[in-house]
Amino acid sequence: MFPAVQDRHLPAIRPLTARSVVLSTLLGYHPPALPVSALVRVGGLFGIAERTTRVALTRMVADGDVVADTGVYRLTERLVQRQAQQDESCSPRTRQWDGTWEMAIVTAISRPLAERVCLRKSMVALRLAEIREGVWLRPANLLRQPDRVVTDQCAFFESRPQQQPVRLARSLWDLGGWAAEASRLRSELDTASTLKAGFIVTAEVLRHLLIDPCLPAELLPEHWPGTGLRERYAEFSTTYAELLRDYSQG
């Protein structure tokens, strides 16, 4: 099951830092590059001092997150790939569901904690749910490739569980909780009236879309809000990016 919905709100998890503001800002731009003055100005929306933003940028260069070129900071190739994955993950590719399920079974033994944590993150990114320890499952309706972390630790199988599919899906995912949060975020998008509010709600919506199980239509409750939230987010983010660009350029 997903964790409690309120635990996933971006502001409740941690306050926005200079690094997170810079990273979120660049991830929202295509291409992901902005002058330092623009990043400083966006940081100012959240009360982040210019010096703090500049220190964060220096550390991000050292960490290999961004590259500086004559006062313009751009994401490194690693994070450009993350941006592309993030964009695709908002609207994953699907195929017609034939009733089969993907099952991933952990086959690696004596795994250190770091490997187990990385595997769990990768499984969530693949929208698999853990039915029991070491056994992950979902309907086989998505088109994507597991990463090396997953293929090194798991074996994949096609399966047809005997349990009724709708009941099984609802035991694996808190569909009611996801839908309720999606409706709240849709309202937040409709009422966000400041750049700061827009920045936060776009981050929250993105986070929420990344944990949408993206189930076949026949397994979803009626009036599922997933498609509506995606469409509203795409519309809002396009407009918001233009407003933020105008603001950052002063």
Angstrom distances, CA of residue 203 to CA of 11, 47, 133: 10, 18, 31
Q: Locate 81 and state its tokens.
A: 């790939």
Cβ(26)–Cβ(199) under 8 Å? Answer: no
Token duo for residue 167: 């009941």
What stretch of H or E contains 96? none
Fold: same for 5-86 and 174-248: no
Backbone angles phi, psi at 165, to 5 degrees: -55, -45
Strand (E) or helix (H) holding 142: none
Closest CA to 19 of 43, 36, 35, 38: 43
pLDDT of residue 3: 32
Q: Given this model, what pLDDT does residue 27 score?
A: 84
164 alpha carbon, distance to own chain's centre = 30
**E strand or H helix at 34, and its extent?**
strand 33-35
Q: How far is 74 from 150, CA to CA, in rounded Å?
A: 30
Write down the pLDDT at residue 14. 54
How far CA 226 is from CA of 93, 197, 211, in Å, comes to: 14, 22, 11
Place of tokens 């808190």: 174
The domain made up of 174-248 is a member of CATH 1.20.58.1460: yes
Alpha-carbon gap, residue 119 to 59, rounded angstroms: 28
Domain boundaries, the chain: 5-86, 101-159, 174-248
CA distance 198 to 29: 15
Instruction: Indicate the SS3 state at residue 156.
Output: strand
CATH of domain 5-86: 1.10.10.10
pLDDT per 10-residue tile (average), the chain, 250 residues: 32 69 86 90 92 95 93 89 76 93 94 91 94 96 91 95 96 97 96 91 90 96 94 90 80
